[in-house]
Structure 1
Amino acid sequence: MTRIITVKGVGNVSTKPDYVVVSMNLEAKDKEYDAAMDLAAEQLEQLNDSLMSLGFEKNDLKTTNFSVDTDYKSLKDQQGNYQRVFNGFVCRHQLKLSFDFDMKRLSQVLSTVAECLAHPEIGISFTVKDATAINEALLREATANAKRKAELLCEASEVKLGKLITIDYNWGELNIYSDTRYDIAEDSKIGAVPMMARAIDIEPDDIDVRDTATFVWEIE
């Protein structure tokens, strides 16, 4: 019977964010389907025009989700019973704009979008441009960590580590984002002056990522 040793390798990587992702949600409502779609197209055009005025290309604004749903409201009839009444169509468009980390650039984007007639909901997150490099560093660290553990266990047990038999790894997507929150009030203007007109030179928290893989070796 082949003797084996099974070890879980852990990889930890910490890195500074170098990329900004601005998420924007648009919502268009109308009783008529065609009118809701026309309004959604108009909102998108307004948003694109605003961003292109800052030097972005039209294809820099990416769609992450698009949906059209029917909307109903509850109304009480004369007998006191609630009835679902058709209220129109709702077109929801989720988009994102990504660019190299630059607080001045981010401030320009937020100020311009706040003045846009489309009035999108905005969210900001900080990540890395090259996620592949982070994934590779994690795998190398997890592999080295597992082998160190296996060699130490074999040495303490006075046996010799043999050949590698299997590697078990879950290829799930990692959450490579900073925990730093950058929140914006829904009412982004005071009078006629945008609240986001000035840049605040913040330093987002480092991104800490962890990943694991399981290795099985023979024991000679």
Structure 2
Amino acid sequence: MQGGMNPYLHNVRTANTGKEATITVQGEGVVKAKPNVVILTLGIRTDSKNVKQAQEENAVQSKQLLDALKQLGIAEKNIETISYTITPQYEYINDKALLQGYRVEHLYEITVLNVQKAGEVYDIAVSNGANVAKGLRFRISHPNKYYEQALIQALQQAVEKARAIASTYNLNINPVPLSFVEESAQLPREVASYATLHAQAAPPIQSGELEIISTIRAIFTYL
């Protein structure tokens, strides 16, 4: 019988070593899930001719931002400094670099445990001095349970493939695999980026769905 008659044949290997006849197939499982955590990267940027003044202004605005976030219910452990930079600002005139002042940027990573609340957090941040956003990302707080579902799907698909191959050749397979290995696991994070913040009202933040993918290779015996 021609291999092209079965769509699974290109993923299959058969072996007969004299001990056990086997079929090797690959299975894939995909589970989609809505993320339940949003991580915002927001910050304060201040400019001044004097570096100390730029730092002091940044400290005042940063305190205002942090106080507002805490009043909104964001726990201190979910607000983390990820960078603090001081950058000289130059203007080039006649090929000469003239120091104009200093820029201080303090960036925070804010973990929001309720996706529906992310827009409100964004709004409060803007209203309380945040003028920089480096992006946001979504994640699933407990992805393992979804990966286990994807793993089960992958194994079920492998069994179906093995049965399809066996029936093509009028063979019977043992549905319990002789062995199987996980070839890959994919737990992606969805990423979206913003430029400088301008919004004065809570923007709609849509999370979409994330895909959890498991791929296995299984070996089945047949008669």
**Mean Cα deviation higher: 209-218 or 82-91:** 82-91
Question: What one-letter code is carried by the residue in structure 2 that aligns with 1:131?
Answer: P
What residue in structure 1 maps to residue 188 of structure 2? 175
Q: CA deviation at 1:205?
A: 6.6
Question: What one-letter code is carried by the residue in structure 1 that aligns with 2:188?
Answer: N
| Secondary structure in structure 2 of the residue aligned to 1:170 | strand
What residue in structure 2 maps to residue 191 of structure 1? none
What residue in structure 1 maps to residue 107 of structure 2? 93
**Cα distance in 2, alignment partners of residues 10 and 154 from structure 1:** 19
**Cα deviations across residues 68-109 of structure 1 (Å, max 9, x unaligned)?**
4756757353xxxx567777576552412222233xx34432
Structure 1: any 5+ residue segments left out of the alignment?
Answer: 189-193
What residue in structure 1 maps to residue 198 of structure 2? 187
Q: CA deviation at 1:40?
A: 5.7
Alignment CA distance shift 1:216-1:156 (3 Å): same
Q: Equivalent pairs: percent with the same residue? A: 18
How many residues align? The count is 201
**1:108 paired residue among 104, 120, 136:** 120
What residue in structure 1 maps to residue 209 of structure 2? 207
Report whether the alignment pairs 1:46 with 2:64. yes
Q: How well do the aligned residues superpose, as a CA RMSD in angstroms?
A: 4.0
| Secondary structure in structure 2 of the residue aligned to 1:186 | coil
Contact 2:91–2:97 (Cα < 8 Å) also in 1: yes
Report the TM-score, using the length of structure 1 for normalisation. Answer: 0.65
Contact 1:13–1:210 (Cα < 8 Å) also in 2: yes
**Correspondence list, 1:85-164, <5 A:** 91=105, 93-102=107-116, 105-121=117-133, 123-161=135-173, 163-164=177-178
Question: What one-letter code is carried by the residue in structure 2 that aligns with 1:159?
Answer: L
> Which has the higher Rg, Structure 1 or Structure 2?
2
